[in-house]
């Protein structure tokens, strides 16, 4: 990916790209998996910088697309509080977001950035994937702890949470005792 | 030639030689390991999988060889992971629950690998493939390419000044992204307080769930792989009870130095189905063999877990 594209992407996420350039970029995002991944990253960085407060261009765009709002409807822009973002949505109406290639691209971005359920933490290419489908969840949790790394630990936490949700007879330890351990 | 000139020439040659030496990928991996061992930092980390991106704030230090760390997921459930050595408390605010887990001593984001470079070199080629800026710092890219399709490729972006890993990628055999971990912001040598490692929640009011630690039975693992993919070797093998219910499982770990596969073998009746599953980035393959079920799990390509599971014998 060239620096020019990165700059363009950054401006797009900030809602500062011109109408014409936005239109071209969205089409390109629809075709380019790497670009979609980068959009997701920029979006995540943006959320951190904004401390999860004001929705900027991407937030509003993704929310609107997720809600299935017709591109010709103005309320799309009303979801966005920041003036630069309003500019971003006007061209969308103009060139019909419904154009399938762009829509597919943007929807992919929304999937990348949304909080997903366990069943979504999967690759399309491999079987019926999800933490839920492993025949013996305890083995999955044991693997996660013995393997190391953040991904493995998060998998273990996910499995343990599912076990908590389904187990009703397990009594947790007293909070006081363990809270003392936590203080150590 | 005077002694002074000789000495100067010697020193200059030495500097040039050391510069050339520092350009070797293995030297960068050595530096990475050293940087990790004593690192104290705070930062923002973005973790990306094929279908998911999540962001963590992280605080990390090492005191007397013991890792202290706190990660806070910035989206969704706001999960906090508080690590003190090998004890990990996973704080789930939504459920007002704390899961206690026993960690295996590996790094959470990155693990030093300098002690295993010879073993890793048997299965991977190292290359320096460029420079990029990550988290506002200049980084050099080390590519670790597998020699076959039984493991994932990796790329590391190492801080030019310190060797600290600022970004890493795991790629499948087609070059598609499996996982990317990248600092969006980092402050190395940050001054951290005890408070940075403390939960933001009133944990005394939360439910605590103790670790379900496996206990070894003392029996040797009698199972072995008759056909390991090249470069893999057994790292550990024992028989353990996984839970309070007492299920006895043979657990063998194979590694090529970078990738790791766990094989679980337990007696089982019932379904003889062969299954393939995903666990986050990991692939799992499970097959019935007589009265036993063999399950291999690892952050490796599907072909690797399949070959290892099918090769198990006793």
Q: Does A138 touch chain B (CB under 8 A)?
A: yes
Alpha-carbon distance B238 to B219, whole Å?
7
**DSSP letter string over A52-84?**
T-S--HHHHHHHHHHTT--TT-THHHHT--SHH
B207-217: pLDDT as tens digits: 999 887 777 87
Please indicate if any CB of chain B lies within 8 Å of the CB of A107: no
* Residues A44, B54: C-beta atoms closer than 8 Å: yes
Q: Are B205 and A175 within 8 A, CB to CB? A: yes
H helices, E strands: number in chain B: 4, 21
Most confident of A49-53, A69-73, A119-123, B268-272: B268-272
pLDDT band at A167 (very low <50, low <70, confident <90, very high): low
Residues of A in contact with B50 (CB under 8 A): 122-123
CA B35 – CA B39 distance, rounded (Å): 6
Count the residues in chain B: 314
**Residue contact B101–A145, C-beta within 8 A:** yes
Cα maximum dimension of chain B: 86
* A175: chain B residues, CB-CB within 8 Å: 203-208
Place A14 in a pLDDT band, splitting at 50, 70 and 90: low
Confidence of residue A159 (pLDDT cuts 50, 70, 90): confident
pLDDT of residue B302: 96
Mean pLDDT value across chain B? 89
pLDDT reported for residue A1: 65
Residue B21 three-state SS: helix
Confidence (pLDDT) at A161: 86
* pLDDT above 50: residue A180: no
| Distance in angstroms (rounded) separating the CA atoms of residues A75 and A89 | 10
Q: Give the number of beta-carbon pairs within 8 Å between A and B.
A: 218
Neighbours of B244 (CB within 10 A): 8
Establish if A137 touches chain B: CB-CB under 8 angstroms. Answer: no
Which residues of chain A make contact with B180, given a CB cutoff of 8 A?
Answer: 37, 41
CA distance A13 to A85: 9
- More confident site: A113 or B302: B302
Q: Cβ distance B221 to B191 under 8 Å?
A: no
For β-strands B177-188 and B41-49, DSSP reports them as antiparallel
In angstroms, the separation between the Cα of residue A42 and the nearest Cα of chain B is 9
Q: Which residue has the higher pLDDT, A63 or B255?
A: B255
Chosen from A10, A13, A125, A136 to mutate, greatest number of chain B CBs within 10 A: A136
Give ∠ CA B195-B201-B207 in degrees, rounded to 5. 125
Q: What is the pLDDT of residues B105-158, one digit of tens each?
A: 778 888 888 888 999 999 999 999 999 999 999 999 999 999 999 999 999 999
Residues 6+ away with beta carbon under 8 Å from B25: B126, B127, B128, B142, B143
Tokens representing residue B280 in the block: 């986050």
Q: What is the pLDDT of residue A37?
A: 66
- Sole residue written with tokens 């019926």: A128
Q: Nearest-CA residue of chain A relative to B248?
A: A139
Backbone phi and psi for residue B119, each to the nearest 5 degrees, phi listed first? -65, -40
As a whole number of angstroms, the distance between CA A25 and CA A108 comes to: 15
Distance of alpha carbon B96 from its chain centroid, rounded?
28
Kindly state the average pLDDT of the residues B249-273.
91
With left for phi above 0 and alpha for psi between -120 and 50, is residue B231 left, alpha or beta? left
Residue B267 vs residue A21, higher pLDDT: B267
Helix (H) or strand (E) holding B179: strand B177-188
pLDDT in tens, B241-254: 876 666 789 999 99
Question: Between the CA of residue B97 and those of B91, B208, B209, what are the distances in Å?
Answer: 6, 6, 7
Whether chain B has a CB inside 8 Å of the CB on A2: the answer is no
pLDDT at B202: 96
Condensed to tens digits (0 to 9), the pLDDT of residues A49-89 reads 444 333 344 444 444 334 433 333 333 333 333 333 333 33
Structure confidence at residue A165 (pLDDT): 77
Higher pLDDT, B288 or A82: B288
Hey, is the C-beta of A43 within 8 angstroms of any chain B C-beta? Answer: yes
The whole-number average pLDDT for the span B230-235 is 95
Which residue from B79, B104, B109 is facing A157, i.e. has the nearest CB? B79
Helix (H) or strand (E) segment spanning residue B129:
strand B124-134
Single pTM value for the model: 0.69
CA nearest to B179 within chain A: A151
CA A97 centroid distance within chain? 20
pLDDT at B42 over 90: yes
Stronger pLDDT, B4 or B174, i.e. the higher one: B174
User: Can you give the pLDDT at residue A13?
Assistant: 66
Per-residue pLDDT, averaged over B23-42, amounts to: 92
Here the ipTM equals: 0.85
Predicted confidence (pLDDT) per residue in B150-202, tens digit: 999 999 999 999 999 999 999 999 999 999 999 999 999 999 999 999 999 99
Q: Is B27 helix (H, G, I), strand (E, B) or coil?
A: helix
Write out pLDDT tens, residues A86-111. 333 333 333 333 333 333 333 333 32
pLDDT of residue A31: 66
- Residues A150 and B47 sit within 8 Å (Cβ to Cβ): yes
pLDDT in tens, B58-101: 999 998 889 999 999 999 889 999 999 989 999 999 999 999 98
Residue A147 pLDDT exceeds 90: no
Find the closest chain A residue to B287 by CA distance: A135
Q: Is pLDDT at B21 greater than 50 in this prediction?
A: no
Mean pLDDT of chain A: 53
Rounded distance, CA A97 to CA A101, Å?
Answer: 9
Q: Are A110 and B66 in contact (CB under 8 A)?
A: no
Secondary structure element (H or E) that encloses residue A181, with its range: helix A175-183
């Amino acid at each position: 990916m060239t620096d020019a594209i990165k700059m363009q992407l950054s401006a797009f996420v900030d809602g500062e790209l011109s109408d014409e350039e936005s239109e071209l970029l969205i089409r390109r995002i629809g075709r380019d998996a790497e670009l979609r991944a980068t959009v997701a990253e920029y979006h995540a960085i943006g959320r951190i910088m904004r401390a999860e407060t004001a929705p900027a261009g991407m937030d509003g765009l993704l929310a609107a697309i997720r809600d299935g709002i017709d591109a010709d409807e103005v309320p799309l822009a009303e979801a966005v509080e920041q003036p630069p973002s309003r500019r971003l949505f006007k061209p969308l109406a103009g060139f019909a977001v419904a154009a399938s290639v762009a829509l597919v691209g943007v929807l992919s971005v929304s999937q990348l950035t949304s909080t997903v359920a366990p069943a979504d933490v999967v690759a399309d290419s491999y079987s019926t994937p999800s933490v839920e489908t492993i025949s013996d969840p305890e083995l999955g949790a044991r693997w996660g702890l013995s393997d190391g790394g953040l991904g493995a630990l998060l998998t273990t936490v996910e499995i343990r949470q599912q076990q908590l949700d389904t187990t009703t007879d397990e009594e947790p330890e007293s909070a006081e005792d363990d809270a003392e351990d936590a203080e150590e | 030639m005077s002694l002074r000139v000789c000495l100067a020439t010697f020193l200059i040659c030495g500097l040039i030689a050391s510069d050339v030496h520092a350009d070797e990928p293995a030297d960068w991996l050595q530096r990475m390991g050293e940087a990790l061992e004593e690192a104290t930092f705070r930062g923002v980390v973005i973790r990306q999988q094929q279908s998911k991106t999540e962001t963590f704030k992280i605080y990390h230090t090492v005191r007397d060889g013991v890792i202290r760390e706190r990660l806070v997921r910035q989206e969704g459930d706001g999960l906090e992971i508080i690590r003190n050595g090998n004890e990990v408390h996973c704080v789930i605010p939504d459920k007002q629950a704390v899961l206690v887990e026993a960690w295996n001593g590996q790094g959470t984001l990155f693990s030093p690998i300098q002690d295993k470079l010879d073993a890793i070199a048997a299965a991977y080629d190292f290359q320096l493939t460029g420079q990029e800026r990550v988290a506002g710092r200049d980084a050099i890219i080390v590519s670790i390419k597998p020699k076959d399709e039984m493991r994932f490729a990796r790329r590391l972006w190492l801080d030019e000044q310190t060797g600290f890993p600022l970004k890493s990628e795991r790629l499948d055999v087609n070059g598609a992204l499996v996982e990317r971990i990248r600092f969006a912001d980092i402050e190395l040598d940050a001054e951290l307080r005890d408070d940075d490692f403390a939960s933001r929640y009133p944990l005394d009011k939360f439910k605590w769930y103790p670790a379900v630690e496996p206990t070894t039975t003392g029996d040797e693992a009698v199972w072995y792989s008759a056909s390991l993919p090249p470069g893999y070797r057994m790292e550990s093998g024992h028989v353990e009870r996984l839970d309070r219910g007492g299920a006895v499982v043979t657990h063998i770990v194979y590694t090529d130095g970078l990738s790791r596969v766990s094989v679980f073998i337990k007696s089982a009746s019932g379904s003889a189905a062969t299954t393939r599953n995903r666990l986050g980035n990991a692939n799992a393959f499970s097959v019935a063999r007589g009265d036993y079920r063999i399950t291999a799990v690892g952050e490796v390509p599907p072909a690797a877990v399949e070959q290892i599971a099918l090769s198990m014998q006793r």
